[in-house]
Structure 1
């Protein structure tokens, strides 16, 4: 049986495929760009390790990493089918069973459809439904195994503006811009953005409550955590999906060009820059 030590063991990448500070379009907030559906899901060199952690969390800490509110079931099933249709190379399908590149077989009907989808890909998967009275999208279902200092229990059922508490720079103006982005996303025309976060602890599973947020290091820490976030609209239900692919690596693993770009365009965080 796998010990909970797996939650703190680092899973470090060899490189960062893209860095948000390397282009003007991705440096400025919110920094969204179009991405083809064929590039929505990514399988990287740490697929097996990240999936083993995901499987452990879903088996041993299900209530902490999975939520689905009433009314989101159809969207969850639609998302599962969309994930299956866009899996990267390396998967083998036999009927309703898909064998992952690491050899683990996933029965698409053996568990909740959102869990089935999340057990196939490295991305955390969030479903957001539009609430007409509030005029915002609400987080209605998610598998969140790799939180960057937030907790699913606090955010489920809340609108985008509340989900981003206590993120700095996410003021009323930014909240309206992000909501407009969600409203404008068309089927088969997803958008992506990427962030750069600074962590002393390289663990992937790092929940934190709003009351006790993560303390930002005074100096640049040892590790860079970067999320590739994709926003897409499901074609049948029209529900929004927010997927998160996470890389963690020491700053020493950045390419020379990325190091040079970071020096030229420091990434700002909590009033400081590095």
Structure 2
């Protein structure tokens, strides 16, 4: 049976920051790989094959940014790659520059959203989103930041302005990160949900799995697009208890 759940989370989910909750990080800590790598990569490839229209979208104007992102991931994770790479789980992935998001989907555990400044706001112009946490790519594609965060209750006009200023100020080589943490009834990684079918947020006593996204923001130096990456951690309740109460 393949492993899709992690046993630990490499940060303290018990100490969330107020929105937007941003902290500085480094390029060396941009992408993560954990014990669920093989199982999650298999799930990603299944979703790309069986639900392609639900997990991938790319506007033509975002194609140079997607290619730049692919080149950056290859340089950091697979620096010796030429026409193909061999992943840590032994799988061989062909590098297809004509389909940069497809290739990215098969290389790392992170999902990626590409946001470009169009007018006064950053707009979601491309994404490979295999593990959505209660939202649908089709509803957010080609929409600005404010619309992307609807209907998040805590994302009000003041937060929206702060986040837009934050996006404007992101510098190449100086990524930022934040995290969230929510309880879910099941461990499924693919959790699309329409904005019109809001999810009730129950307490942990009624749910068995903690889902946390490590989200990073990175400015691409050539195309100037902002990349929002998401590494999804899902832990069973007993693993969370072991983290909170180590022996």
**TM-score, normalised by the number of residues in structure 1:** 0.84
Q: CA deviation at 1:249?
A: 0.6
SS of 2:14 mapped into structure 1: helix
Closer/same/farther in 2, CA of residues 94 and 38 from structure 1, 3 Å limit = closer
State the distance in 1 between where 2:97 and 2:114 align. Answer: 20
State the distance in 1 between where 2:230 and 2:168 align. Answer: 19
| Residue 199 of structure 1 pairs with residue 184 of structure 2 | yes
Closer/same/farther in 2, CA of residues 259 and 177 from structure 1, 3 Å limit = farther
Tell me the residue number matched to 1:271.
Answer: none
**TM-score, normalised by the number of residues in structure 2:** 0.93
Which 10-residue stretch deviates more, 45-54 or 210-219? Answer: 210-219
Contact map agreement 2:3 2:38 (CA 8 A) in 1: no
| Residue 13 of structure 1 pairs with residue 6 of structure 2 | yes
Contact map agreement 1:124 1:243 (CA 8 A) in 2: yes
Q: Could you tell me which runs of 5 or more consecutive residues in structure 1 were left unpaired when the two chains were aligned.
A: 1-5, 261-274
| Residue 123 of structure 1 pairs with residue 116 of structure 2 | no
Tell me the residue number matched to 2:40.
Answer: 50
Instruction: Decide which of 61, 85, 88 is 1:71's aligned counterpart.
Output: 61
| Residue 136 of structure 1 pairs with residue 112 of structure 2 | no
Q: CA deviation at 1:257?
A: 6.5
Q: How many residues align?
A: 245
SS of 1:71 mapped into structure 2: helix
Q: Could you tell me which runs of 5 or more consecutive residues in structure 2 were left unpaired when the two chains were aligned.
A: none
State the distance in 1 between where 2:27 and 2:97 align. Answer: 27
- 1:185-219 per-residue CA deviation (whole Å, 9 max, x = no partner) reads 10000000011111112210000001112222256
- 1:46-66 per-residue CA deviation (whole Å, 9 max, x = no partner) reads 000000000111112111100
State the distance in 2 between where 1:144 and 1:15 align. Answer: 23
Q: CA RMSD in A?
A: 2.0
Instruction: Decide which of 17, 23, 36 is 1:33's aligned counterpart.
Output: 23
